[in-house]
Amino acid sequence: MNAPNASGWKPHMGTAEAATAATASGDRALNLEEALIFELAGPGGCGVDMEAPALPPVAGLERFLRQAPAALPGLSEPEVVRHYTRLSRQNYAIDLGPFPLGSCTMKHNPRLNEKVARLPGFADIHPLQPKHTVPGALEAIAQLADWLIALTGMAAVAMTPKAGAHGELCGLLCIRAALDARGENREVVLVPESAHGTNPATAAFAGFRVENIPATADGRVDLAALTARLGPDIAGVMITNPNTCGLFERDMKAISDAVHGVGGFVYCDGANFNAIVGKVRPGDLGVDAMHINLHKTFSTPHGGGGPGSGPVVLSAALAPFAPLPFAQRGADGAVHLIEEEEAPADHPASFGRMAAFHGQMGMFTRALAYILSHGADGLRQVAEDAVLNANYVLRSLEDVLDAPFAAAGPCMHEALFSDNGLPEGFSTLDIAKGLIDEGFHPMTVYFPLVVHGAMLVEPTETESKAGLDRFIASLRSLATRARAGDETLQSAPHFAPRRRVDETLAARKPRLVWQADAA
């Protein structure tokens, strides 16, 4: 309203045209563009004060000396703080609002976890310090291991894998090692069509041949087709449960029994364990190996793409083959870190080391703080609220968006919609980009591949009902606009720092590093 305030002073409000005029700087108030560091300063500067070296290089080093310093700018602290702060404001984040990426599990990251991970007793210890100087670190790893084993009902856990896909690799290498120990050369791993791309990629990386298993009309693994394919060449299956359609695999135990019946192993992709933590123990369903993405279920921050952490729980049949180092509690309750030196006596069948050092300690401490905060009761509530929130979204939108499996019953932690019913010329992408203008991060789109134009919405348990209601209202509005043929949706986003980005150009003429003459 253009009304005088209590003092009688009346601001001049300007015209609508003035609001859209170009600015000299290219910035618009809080919408700030930011140059590359290479454009902010040339080489030569330095934002770190340090003393001069008191000694010159040793004589033996002279022939190896670098001819010229790397051509990299060094900026003062105020410039650096401003550069990264301005860049940060071009990002959407869970701290800003819902981030409902199905299968990715973007939940609140408690700050207590950041605090404890930075305690010097965890953050400032070297991986090769004498073991007797780090009993608290080994105990922290073992306590997390104890929780993971209890929550999954499994026999052991390999803590070292660096991320989910690395955990998949760990599980498959355990299976390979177990088959080798039996003197069997089984070549085939069965993977459902709806699986994450990492599953077939990992199986191939581990030297297996991948065959697809079809799905049933209700979005589950086709048990009959799977059973028909089983035989002596099957090393195992990789099943995601709950699966990537957000559905629980009702036949999981029957699948496990059938695979075990022919001498194979069951790998479960635990990416969606957050839906069932505290409610179901995968060990009760016959699983032999399952990775747990600590950055999903146990809320270590995603950090714009990592670091992850992917411990793998193992059945008694696979535990002997777990990689080194392997943290194990002795009969006395003390934790023993089994490395190459101790392995011949204490862990002789291990398939070896899959990375340097002991795993993602900084993620272990965060996950342990998360787990201790929730406790057994709170973790169960996590799964229940995650599933409740997803079903609330599903039932609040199924009248305006096609939900291919909704008629068959509830979903788990994520609600799946398709582009079926959107008018000609409107796609899942338009809905996703429209959500950006609404102030939300889009859902996962075009995954799983088994559903056309898939939209996979995972609200997680850390969204409030009021927040979900706002999200649902926006998605309803977008679906309605698409049905009404609102063409402005096809060019969304309109209000983001960037409009739709030319991905084809990026791939056709890759420019992967900055070059002065290319500007």
Partner 1 sequence: MRYLPLTPADRAAMLARIGADDIDALFADVPATALLAGPVAGLAPHASEMAVERHMARLAGQNLTAGAVPFFLGAGAYRHHIPASVDHLIQRGEFLTAYTPYQPEIAQGTLQVLFEFQTQVARLFGTDIANASMYDGSTACWEAIAMAGRVTRRKKAVLAAGLHPHYVSTAQTMARFTGDAILAATPLLAADAGDAATIAAIDGETAAVVVQYPDILGRIPDLAAIAEAAHARGALLVAVVTEPVALGLIEAPGHLGADIVVGEGQSLGVGLNFGGPYLGLFGARAKFVRQMPGRLCGETVDAEGKRAFVLTLSTREQHIRREKATSNICTNAGLCALAFSIHMSLLGGEGLARLAALNHARARATAEALAAIPGVEVVNDAYVHEFAVRLPTEARSAVRAMADRGVLGGVALGRLYPGAAGLENGLVVAASELTSDEDIAALVAAIKGVIA
Site for partner 1 in 296-315 (CB under 8 A): 301-309
- Closest separation in Å from C-beta 503 to partner 1: 6
The Cα–Cα gap between 268 and 174 comes to 13
By the rule CB under 8 A, 473 interacts with partner 1: no
Q: Is 423 helix (H, G, I), strand (E, B) or coil?
A: coil
Site string for partner 1, 225-264 (x = CB under 8 A): ----------------------xx-x--x-----------
Contacting residue, 357, 425, 452, 480, with partner 1 by CB under 8 A:
357
Give Cα 54 to chain centroid, integer Å.
47
Of residues 152-171, those binding partner 1 (CB under 8 A): 162-166, 168-169
Of residues 397-426, those binding partner 1 (CB under 8 A): 409-410, 412
- Please report where in the chains the tokens 């080489």 appear, as a residue: 43
Based on CB atoms, which residue is closest to partner 1, 12 or 132? 132
Instruction: State which H helix or E strand residue 456 sits in.
Output: strand 455-457
- Please report where in the chains the tokens 């401490």 appear, as a residue: 365
Give the closest residue to 383 by CA, choosing from 456, 281, 284, 472: 281
Q: Are 416 and 215 in contact (CB under 8 A)?
A: no
Contacts for 462 with CB less than 8 Å, ≥ 6 apart: 107, 108
Give the closest residue to 142 by CA, choosing from 364, 352, 321, 315: 364
Tokens describing residue 63: 């022939």
CA angle in degrees (0–180, nearest 5) for 258-261-265 = 80
Based on CB atoms, which residue is closest to partner 1, 30 or 513? 513
Q: Are 160 and 289 in contact (CB under 8 A)?
A: no
The Cα–Cα gap between 297 and 383 comes to 9
Of residues 110-149, those binding partner 1 (CB under 8 A): 110, 112, 114-116, 118-130, 132-137, 139-140, 143, 147
Question: What are the residues facing 209 on neighbouring strands?
Answer: 188
Contacting residue, 3, 16, 52, 217, with partner 1 by CB under 8 A:
52
Spell 423-457 as b/e; 16+ CB within 10 A means b: eeebbbbbbbbbbbbbebbbbbbbbbebbebbbbb
The Cα–Cα gap between 163 and 155 comes to 21
By the rule CB under 8 A, 92 interacts with partner 1: yes
- Closest separation in Å from C-beta 412 to partner 1: 8
Tokens describing residue 432: 């996703």
Contacting residue, 13, 72, 473, 484, with partner 1 by CB under 8 A:
72
The radius of gyration computed from the CA coordinates of the chain, to the nearest angstrom, equals 27
Based on CB atoms, which residue is closest to partner 1, 51 or 517? 51
- Closest separation in Å from C-beta 317 to partner 1: 19
Total residues interacting with partner 1, rule: CB under 8 A: 201
Contacting residue, 222, 233, 257, 385, with partner 1 by CB under 8 A:
385
Based on CB atoms, which residue is closest to partner 1, 181 or 355? 355
- Closest separation in Å from C-beta 4 to partner 1: 38
Based on CB atoms, which residue is closest to partner 1, 10 or 500? 500
By the rule CB under 8 A, 108 interacts with partner 1: yes
The Cα–Cα gap between 497 and 518 comes to 23
Contacting residue, 222, 233, 346, 395, with partner 1 by CB under 8 A:
395
Site string for partner 1, 424-463 (x = CB under 8 A): --------xx--x----xx----x-------------xxx
Based on CB atoms, which residue is closest to partner 1, 13 or 119? 119
The residue range among 7-15, 221-229, 479-487, 506-514 that interacts with partner 1, by the rule CB under 8 A, is 506-514
Based on CB atoms, which residue is closest to partner 1, 3 or 356? 356
By the rule CB under 8 A, 194 interacts with partner 1: no
Contacting residue, 260, 392, 418, 483, with partner 1 by CB under 8 A:
392
Of residues 273-292, those binding partner 1 (CB under 8 A): 276, 278-281, 284-285
Based on CB atoms, which residue is closest to partner 1, 121 or 485? 121
By the rule CB under 8 A, 384 interacts with partner 1: yes
Q: Is 179 helix (H, G, I), strand (E, B) or coil?
A: helix
Based on CB atoms, which residue is closest to partner 1, 110 or 263? 110
Output the CA torsion 59→64→68→70 (10° steps): -120
Contacts for 250 with CB less than 8 Å, ≥ 6 apart: 220
- Closest separation in Å from C-beta 6 to partner 1: 37
DSSP 124-143: T--TTS-GGG-HHHHHHHHH
Omega within 30 of 0 (cis) for the link into 43: no
- Closest separation in Å from C-beta 366 to partner 1: 10
- Closest separation in Å from C-beta 263 to partner 1: 19
Based on CB atoms, which residue is closest to partner 1, 17 or 503? 503
Of residues 3-22, those binding partner 1 (CB under 8 A): none
By the rule CB under 8 A, 28 interacts with partner 1: no
Based on CB atoms, which residue is closest to partner 1, 6 or 22? 22
Q: Are 270 and 291 in contact (CB under 8 A)?
A: yes
Of residues 330-349, those binding partner 1 (CB under 8 A): 339-341
- Closest separation in Å from C-beta 227 to partner 1: 18
Contacting residue, 145, 148, 202, 481, with partner 1 by CB under 8 A:
202
The Cα–Cα gap between 486 and 477 comes to 11
DSSP H helices in 191-237: 198-205, 223-229
Residue 518 is which amino acid? A
The Cα–Cα gap between 335 and 367 comes to 19
